[in-house]
Structure 1
């Protein structure tokens, strides 16, 4: 089938993760994404290893966020490189960048400059703190924003417990959420342009995204005036909803309503516990959390993981194991859904990638090509865009503007 973004061309000036995560999704959805990289080294994440793809200098980190793109090398510090980018923009629908605030203005590649050559341009800027405000000039990194934006203060064990301290999430969730907010915003702007003919400048900030993704925890504070505290694997609003030790490992018990709690108590051999007024409703279970959790800990620790997983599954009580990433990719559901995809790779022979999770009409939405080698498509892209200007491109190559 023709993909939904077929015919949309994106000029991707971003690097690292938030921007590339956005443009990878656009590429998976059918957009042509032209990834602009510096001739010397390219995207920083190409070297963020080990591990590296065997037989290449491409780090796994880079491979995670650059499927389906065409890489061209342009030195935008040179005036000829800036002029080339401006010409390319006239052929594009979207520009994506994550330079510091004002970083592209000195090159004449900011929104105000580029909209003069492409009035209906959709231009998306990703920064740490946004285009305005007292922190706008600062660089922003995921780890910093997890701390500054409140996420680390609600992640980890409480201070009074052994090992209690703020902890970051195991992947760069602020970058990833920012990439997806940028994606949906770009798509919204394209829909708006199709109706009005007008482009847009989109301002997406990691700090803003981090605060917005506090979700119910932010509302817990705004409603009560009390800052939520770290609770380890427990949930602030639902009980029992946490990890428990079994006789030989761990399970996650995720009781979401009173009926599920009654069925859990039946499996655990304590049906009367669900009738106790201290535990009969979620409100009362939250109020009596410590007493209830201590009872459940004793019950679950008495039997092995497999017993709980099988028995609770039969009764429709949400539960699951805590898998390693190796176990994740061995899981039959993950395998059935095809979340690992293999693509041919010119240097390595083959590269394994994580599939886009979205399906259209039962079809997985993955771009057809693997993450590109540095400058792999410079010649083909520029020849397509400027078919009658070989001498011009040769002169840029001789000056080191492109490779």
Structure 2
């Protein structure tokens, strides 16, 4: 069994919904001990995002909160804030996705926390960043997809601006945050000092514009929606076969010649006007209808077989069901099962990390609200049972009855 890279790293997670929880789930998959701080009454907002629910747990929450321990603490009480400050003294990382200034108002400013623990790495995830004219605006995935330009380049050219079908702004922000946190941990090995990481959802999404921004910077013209076509490659888009859709990516001149052989159109291969990629893009309005007519003559499997044999990039259009059951993913152990106390068996798609030594670690299911409060306060802060009970009775925390048989990983 391999030693997971972040074993021994204690992360205090004050985030909720998607961006922050996705970040800390990635860190947890790599071995970090994630203490998920939740509001005692309802917990993470996403616990209520449904239907569907399983055993009282929302599928939404279950999808981004594995490998965490839930500690329910009321941050509106001075006693709750003091508990967080004490936990932060033990932690390697603290991360939140409150609006700018909230941590300061709570008495948990990054300056205060690092004064108590100079090695602490703090990370704030916000919609628009901690600075700038939009810093105080609330940021949600749909809002950021629009503000980042992503919706303006997504969808049918004659249709509405369209968001990506998943919470891409939240998810890519979580990925960037986890990467920045790991970089800060690596740098701390040299300096012994922690840093603050400022992650903006808008910054993260804008960074994905890449060549679209490059087109604007080069020409001064803003790229528009092209549906499933590519602005600088053709044919590279979705085509309708006789019985459904598939994607075909003729990404260079070599693939163009192979593709012409697949569709049995040697005349297109020998046509000098289409020989170069730049010309196929320039003449896409006349070329794509020709290709579309050829693809429409045969069913999908006909083209998939021929494209595969020729080595031309292609792809089926799969449903979420088909992806979750795909042999390519299941044989790589991308789908995991976790026993949950109320939801039965919880299935998740695993993080795509693959190391040269097989990871035999058993992942823990998303926690119940307050499931680990007792254990965390007792183990990390050394609080007596009577004190924990008193805090629970006063509403400062929420605990569940400790389960002696449960083996808890403290990192």
**TM superposition score category, shorter chain reference:** over 0.9
1:273 maps to 268
2:115 match: secondary structure: coil
Larger displacement relative to structure 2 (9-18 or 213-222):
213-222
Alignment partners' CA distance in 1, 2:383 and 2:175:
38
Alignment partners' CA distance in 2, 1:19 and 1:184:
13
Measured after TM superposition, the shift of residue 381 of structure 1 is 1.1
Larger displacement relative to structure 2 (182-191 or 324-333):
324-333
1:311 maps to 306
Listed as ranges, the gaps of 5+ residues in structure 2 are 399-411
Larger displacement relative to structure 2 (363-372 or 85-94):
363-372
1:51-130 equivalent positions in 2, closer than 5 A: 51-53=52-54, 56-130=55-129
1:250 maps to 245
On the 8 A contact 1:29/1:366 being kept in 2, the answer is no
Larger displacement relative to structure 2 (275-284 or 330-339):
330-339
On the 8 A contact 2:87/2:381 being kept in 1, the answer is no
2:234 match: secondary structure: coil
Distance 1:142 1:72, change over 3 A: same
Is residue 2:176 matched to residue 1:181?
yes
On the 8 A contact 1:67/1:367 being kept in 2, the answer is no
On the 8 A contact 2:56/2:343 being kept in 1, the answer is no
1:116 match: secondary structure: helix
Alignment partners' CA distance in 1, 2:362 and 2:66:
7
Quote the RMSD (CA, aligned, Å): 1.2
Q: Given the alignment, which residue of 373, 377, 385 partners 2:380?
A: 385
Number of equivalent positions: 397
Tell me the TM-score normalised to structure 1 length: 0.96
1:169 maps to 164
Alignment partners' CA distance in 1, 2:47 and 2:212:
36
Alignment partners' CA distance in 1, 2:384 and 2:213:
55
On the 8 A contact 1:343/1:352 being kept in 2, the answer is yes
On the 8 A contact 2:57/2:343 being kept in 1, the answer is no
Runs of 4+ in 1 over 4 A off after TM superposition: 364-367
Larger displacement relative to structure 2 (390-399 or 219-228):
390-399
Measured after TM superposition, the shift of residue 362 of structure 1 is 5.1
Larger displacement relative to structure 2 (344-353 or 357-366):
357-366
Per-residue CA distance 1:268-296 (angstroms, 9 max, x = gap)? 01122122122111111111011110110
On the 8 A contact 1:358/1:365 being kept in 2, the answer is no
On the 8 A contact 1:127/1:140 being kept in 2, the answer is yes
Measured after TM superposition, the shift of residue 170 of structure 1 is 0.3
Alignment partners' CA distance in 1, 2:327 and 2:359:
17
Measured after TM superposition, the shift of residue 238 of structure 1 is 0.8
1:290 maps to 285
Alignment partners' CA distance in 1, 2:289 and 2:361:
46
Listed as ranges, the gaps of 5+ residues in structure 1 are none
Distance 1:17 1:77, change over 3 A: same
1:137 maps to 136
Per-residue CA distance 1:221-272 (angstroms, 9 max, x = gap)? 1111110010000001111110000011111001111111111100101122
On the 8 A contact 1:29/1:367 being kept in 2, the answer is no
Larger displacement relative to structure 2 (307-316 or 113-122):
113-122
On the 8 A contact 1:100/1:137 being kept in 2, the answer is yes
Per-residue CA distance 1:125-181 (angstroms, 9 max, x = gap)? 00011111111011101100110110000000112xxxx110000001011110010
On the 8 A contact 1:340/1:353 being kept in 2, the answer is yes
Tell me the TM-score normalised to structure 2 length: 0.94
2:124 match: secondary structure: strand
2:326 maps to 331
Is residue 2:384 matched to residue 1:395?
no
On the 8 A contact 1:245/1:251 being kept in 2, the answer is yes
